[in-house]
Structure 1
Amino acid sequence: MANQTQTSTHETPQPFAGDVVFQFPNRAFIENLHVLHNGHILFSTLTSGNLYILDPRSSNPSPTIVASLVGSTGLTGIVSLGQGRYAISGGIHSSFSFVRGSMQLYVVSMEASDPAGAEVTDTIPVPDTSMMNGMVALPNRPHTVLSADSIDGRIYRVNTETKEVSVAFADPALAPGDSPGIPFGANGLKLRDGYLYFTNSALGTYARVSIDDDGNKTGNVEVLATLGSAASPANAYDDFDFDAHGNVYIAVHSASINKVTPNGEQFLFAGGSNSTTFKEPTSVAMAEDRKSIYVTTGGTIAGNTTYGGQIINVKL
């Protein structure tokens, strides 16, 4: 790794709480989300092979199943391929991983104005991995996506037109290392200005690496921020997103959203150790108007009460 920057997390005096848009009544674990141009939200869970859509502005937001992805019991990444097509990754989910060899990339065609007409148009097997975590489409080759193999420390490349699956590159910065508490590394991917950005849950790092138009690594990994203390299941980076100014908002287990500025300063942005709003944050996505973020959570069990996965809106 190169140019490692150590940053600490400073709690703001009054971090934002956020407004709960929707919460499952049962122990459904929301894993990822994608905001459409019309403001509706596509999201996945680790507790079923269903792809959901939600209108957060309706009077009583309630999700609808867009498609049931056969062969998967849990879904992870979602990315737009353009022209109303989306890539979704999934497989047979087990604790902290998927059954090796069960991962697949699904192509779903759907018009934002008519989600009921969604159709699974292709299924591409991704062998020899037990995790696909986060996903991005290459800007100059939008039919090709990259996804993190969080356990074996690799970036997979999948061409959704030719169905070719290959390893773009491997790097120890993507792997979990010898962390005793978290068995997976790279968690969430974003592309920005020629860099692939990622968090590593086990190592407690937020980093980037330069790539070319085909997704091949062209430089060394740069660590941009780190957790203020040792990573653990109760203290771990998850997925993230950028605002228009290059600030990044990172979901942090068990109850926080951290903000990292372009110069590496890190702050608690929402939630925090004393907050009861965010129940295991898993991912962040900018709203379509860029004035707020949506946060998904996995839910939790506290005492005798079960809290399902949530979608929460936080103003910027």
Structure 2
Amino acid sequence: MYLAIVATALSFFCLTTPAQETFKEHHIVLPLPSRTVYQFPNPTWIENLAVRSNGQLLLNVLSTPDLYLLDPLVEDSDPYLLYTFPDTLGLLGITEMQDDVFYILSGNFSLATGNTGPGTYAVWKVDLTSYSLGKPWDPKSAISKVVDMPEAKLLNSLIPLKKSATGGIVLISDSYLGAVWQLDVSTGEYSILLAFPEMTFPADAKLPIGINGLRLRGDWLYWANSEQNTFCRVKIDSEGQAISAVETLVSNVTFIDDFAFDRQGNAWVALDPSSELGVIRPGQDDVIIVLGSSSPFTVAGPTSVQFGRACGDTETLYVVTNGGLANPVNGTITVGAQVLAVGTGGFYG
């Protein structure tokens, strides 16, 4: 309740105060402060999240095909199960195309066997435009399958390329193929758009996971290659075609899963197996560890990150985890999947 009141009280200030776009060099006190918004039972693997314009979080679970809604601005809030997707083992990427209209990836990635479930992937539409948390919910009218993609091997992340009033084009990373698909969410038509050696996994990889997290910033498409341990980008045109050579910005960074950019262009990266949160600054070729290095249980197996969108919450980075299921802490210990709120203000000064 207190958090909700504070957010409301700040609304006028947020509407009249311009966002700070730059930061000065200063001494950063690490680790950054964090709090647990909610912790799921063990074992649970949260794979991805999206933030609604009202600040609520959509949580995609990989260990079960469940989509949850959680309000991090309400103290002691519990997640609400929106939907359990049929005929699939789990959920992966999620993105917003229009206000409160989201697209979600599902597939049979098996945590028990490591089988990536080739041929089982699909894209779904989730329309929350008429839904508020706590009100009656009819998933049958709000959730629909866009398309099955039997040629896909391991769909992982998706982002908007083009938006229209009713649809648009999304880009989808395929970690096994080492490629990026394009999908018209209105027609269901899809094809491979980009494929580079920098998107593939190496022959000696422990897991068949090359390109993973995917983001578009300006004219540049960025991606993490988890098993090549790299962070890359390529310049694209309005159709998504590459118009530059691939640039490897960072090498030898252990298994970036997903990432998000802040307004200054810093990439906040989820380092899953090492249970750390890091930052890659523009023009720098290393990673600053800002959380988790002194205590791996603080952020056990981070899988995805997103900045808050509600008034007064835009410097909060929300982090979801798998509880260490991919790489147990100390080799044997896992915990319930976490939803964390990380205060990033101290990073900017």
Q: TM-score under structure 1 normalisation? A: 0.88
Counterpart of 2:316 (choices 268, 292, 305) is: 292
> 1:59 aligns to what?
75
* Deviations, residues 76-106 of structure 1 (Å, cap 9, x unaligned): 1000110432110011122445321110000
Q: Is the 8 A contact 1:69 1:106 kept in 2?
A: no
- How do 1:190-209 residues align onto structure 2 when only pairs under 5 Å count? 190-209=215-234
RMSD after superposition? 2.1
Q: Is the 8 A contact 1:133 1:150 kept in 2?
A: yes
Identity percentage over the alignment?
30
The unaligned stretches of length 5 or more in structure 2 are 1-27, 345-349
* Deviations, residues 170-212 of structure 1 (Å, cap 9, x unaligned): 1111111223323211111111111111100000011111122
Give the Cα–Cα distance (whole angstroms) in 1 for the partners of residues 148 and 191 of structure 2. Answer: 12
Looking at CA atoms only, which structure, 1 or 2, has the larger radius of gyration?
Answer: 2
Q: Is the 8 A contact 1:107 1:122 kept in 2?
A: yes
SS of match in other structure, 1:114: coil
Structure with greater strand percent? 1
Give the Cα–Cα distance (whole angstroms) in 2 for the partners of residues 140 and 109 of structure 1. Answer: 15
Shift of 1:109: 1.1
Residue 291 (structure 2) pairs with residue 267 (structure 1): no
Q: TM-score under structure 2 normalisation? A: 0.80
Residue 261 (structure 2) pairs with residue 242 (structure 1): yes
Q: Is the 8 A contact 1:16 1:270 kept in 2?
A: yes
Give the Cα–Cα distance (whole angstroms) in 1 for the partners of residues 102 and 115 of structure 2. Answer: 23
Shift of 1:29: 0.3
SS of match in other structure, 1:65: strand
Amino acid in the other structure paired with 1:114 = S
* Deviations, residues 257-309 of structure 1 (Å, cap 9, x unaligned): 11111122531122115442011111111111321101111013558864111
Q: Is the 8 A contact 1:48 1:73 kept in 2?
A: yes
Give the Cα–Cα distance (whole angstroms) in 2 for the partners of residues 34 and 286 of structure 1. Answer: 9
SS of match in other structure, 1:213: coil
> 2:197 aligns to what?
172
Structure with greater helix percent? 2
- How do 1:123-134 residues align onto structure 2 when only pairs under 5 Å count? 123-134=146-157
The unaligned stretches of length 5 or more in structure 1 are 1-11, 229-234
Counterpart of 2:298 (choices 262, 277, 280) is: 277
Shift of 1:214: 2.2
Q: Is the 8 A contact 2:296 2:329 kept in 1?
A: no
> 1:7 aligns to what?
none
Give the Cα–Cα distance (whole angstroms) in 1 for the partners of residues 56 and 219 of structure 2. Answer: 28
Q: Is the 8 A contact 1:240 1:283 kept in 2?
A: yes
> 1:312 aligns to what?
340
Amino acid in the other structure paired with 2:116 = F
Shift of 1:144: 1.1
SS of match in other structure, 1:173: helix
Change (3 A) 1:97 1:174: farther
**How many residue pairs are counted as aligned between the two chains?**
300
Greater RCO structure (CA 8 Å; 6+ sep): 1
- Runs of 4+ aligned residues of structure 1 deviating over 6 Å after TM superposition are none
* Deviations, residues 32-82 of structure 1 (Å, cap 9, x unaligned): 000111110001011111111101122212111122222221111000110
> 1:220 aligns to what?
245
Q: Is the 8 A contact 2:230 2:252 kept in 1?
A: yes
